[in-house]
A and B are shown apart, each in its own frame.
Chain A
Amino acid sequence: MSEYILEMRNITKAFPGVKALDSVNLKIREGEIHSLCGENGAGKSTLMKVLSGVYPHGTYDGDILFKGKVCEFKSIKDSEDLGIVIIHQELALIPYLSIAENIYLGNERAHKGIVDWNETIRGAKELLGKVGLTENPNTPVGTIGVGKQQLVEIAKALSKKVKLLILDEPTAALNEDDSENLLQLMLEFKKQGISCILISHKLNEVSKVSDSITILRDGKTIETLDMHGKEVNEDRIIRGMVGRDLTSRYPERTPKVGEVILEIKDWTVYHELQADRKVIDGANLHIRRGEIVGIAGLMGSGRTELAMSVFGRAYGRNISGELYKNGQVIQNRTVTEAIANGFAYVTEDRKDYGLILIDDIKRNISLTGLPKLARNMVIDEREEILVAEEMRRKLKIKTPNILQKTGNLSGGNQQKVVLSKWIYSEPDILILDEPTRGIDVGAKFEIYSIINQLADEGKGVLVISSELPEILGICDRIYVMNAGRITGEVSKEEASQETLMRYMTKNGGA
């Protein structure tokens, strides 16, 4: 019997254009809680997808050994049969089905295709007891809170005779009590001999429960730390997560910072569906003319929600707080009003929220600025072509002509079309949400140059990014968010990946 329940050896997984995993090694001891840490995009989720069989054997290189035996998983079913169960960040429960039905979904207590309801309810009760949830198994899952739903997921995992439980950001959506509860449960499972892999951005939780930690960065294993040995603290983990060189991937710029152009005061937003959950909690920030301000934060920290709620209440409800533009109170009640107030918002998700993929470049560029092109509501198509051509030239959109469908363009060129659209609307304040996600290095440099140019024209620019090097490379001042609060504000001079990461994983307000 091997000491390790799971060994992943030299796992390499490539997607077109990127190596997501590069000879990653991961060893999990029998009955330990092993944490996996790394920035967004470090390869944690990809590694877990390889392990669980989402990426079947043959699509990656390397070996997976479970209890000393080589495994070749062809699907999730194969890995689950061995007792490897993954619980994803977005819960995979069906809200209209009952707790019991969800627990046994795909694994029904049935004889010859006919469900044995007595056995289902009895089994569900027993499993709920193990995870400490006192709910009627007939309750629809959609009516219980997220914390309890998480427990139902775990009960579902237990029903599959789990040996190795993988939790991907299990506490991201939970409040502190529920999180604490969940961590205790993990320690309880450990006593029963169930091994756990915990993926989390909350380093205090990680250091609390873990026996060892493996750190991934840019698709490579950096190190594995033993939490019981010598002193390992959060700073030590952070250093491992961010330690990479900053090369000059960012264009030079001397900022010419002017007056405050936008001030956001006491901004509070509630979740769109869960009315009692604060997504943004009393955020205060300001942007000056000619300044590029960054918002750093991990996924789920509320960055996008902040941007969208400011941009004409495109997200959230019960929004409270004040907006001041050039010292005057303004209202952004609708997107149209926000645009009229000189706001522009380049969305995080280009394809779903930014572009009309079935339309051509010209029409996408002119969409927001159509009233400017129209006389008596009739569009001046000559003018429209001139505008689109000018943008194509200025932003170097690579395309045979402006009648190409935007769906056929590369990510970088699509992003340039989105930028063109907003540049043509002549905003004073630009909010850019993940402006270079999924874009290759060369195009990134061009996008940064465009951003710099917009700031130099005296606009206020707010950049939201998950990539710390990017934030450090282009921003003059950086706010850090965690769990809906602004936990820190750092100037370019005092900013480093370590300081940012500390604020990003800090609980509570600044």
Chain B
Amino acid sequence: MDPSVGDLNSPHSMGTTIIGVTYNGGVVLGADSRTSTGVYVANRASDKITQLTDNVYVCRSGSAADSQIVSDYVRYFLHQHTIQLGEPATVKVAANLVRLLSYNNKSMLQTGLIIGGWDKYEGGKIYGVPLGGTILEQPFAIGGSGSTYLYGFFDQEWKEGMTKDEAEKLVVKAVSLAIARDGASGGVVRTVIINSDGVTRNFYPGDSLPLWHEELEPQNSLLDILSSSSSEPMVS
């Protein structure tokens, strides 16, 4: 396998940027859409925000296979739990099921997850379950390789008691900033908003996101630039 091609047999790994934020009334989950195998982008439009129940979703990062199998098991258990309980599962129960699987299989799994949802007892809640299976309830959580670029951003921008729109804008801005700097994150920004009214999915394609430092407005072709400008564009 020559070096320039990277390793196409690398395990599928979601470099990823994932975010979960509470606001006054619910939660907003956000993620990028890049799944990479080594240096190749295996899927440029993946959906990393996965449903566990009607009211609880999970953001997946790390190994694609591991995070998918964990979500599948948790969805299965939660389904049974909901039937037995007779009412929607709480976010806390969902998060703890994720924790159980992550903790008890810690030597085999490589996945960091953010669980977010809304239930009638506690309202909107976000739980982080990083590598190792620690569970931490947080007002907001960030994860994945792209999150390293967002610690400073959130330290500055996070506020308690945001509105739904403020929260979603914050999430989109953050994922977009991470995509700008993390090679393992990219594609589109997907968000899922969960509150007492239900669930809303949103999609922000790459070209709708703001431009950051050293990024230029995308053009169709150089020819357009040449034809529209009057002075000497092609100067050596």
Q: Is B a genuine binding partner of A?
A: no
Q: Which residues of B contact A (CB under 8 A)?
A: none
Q: Which residues of A contact B (CB under 8 A)?
A: none
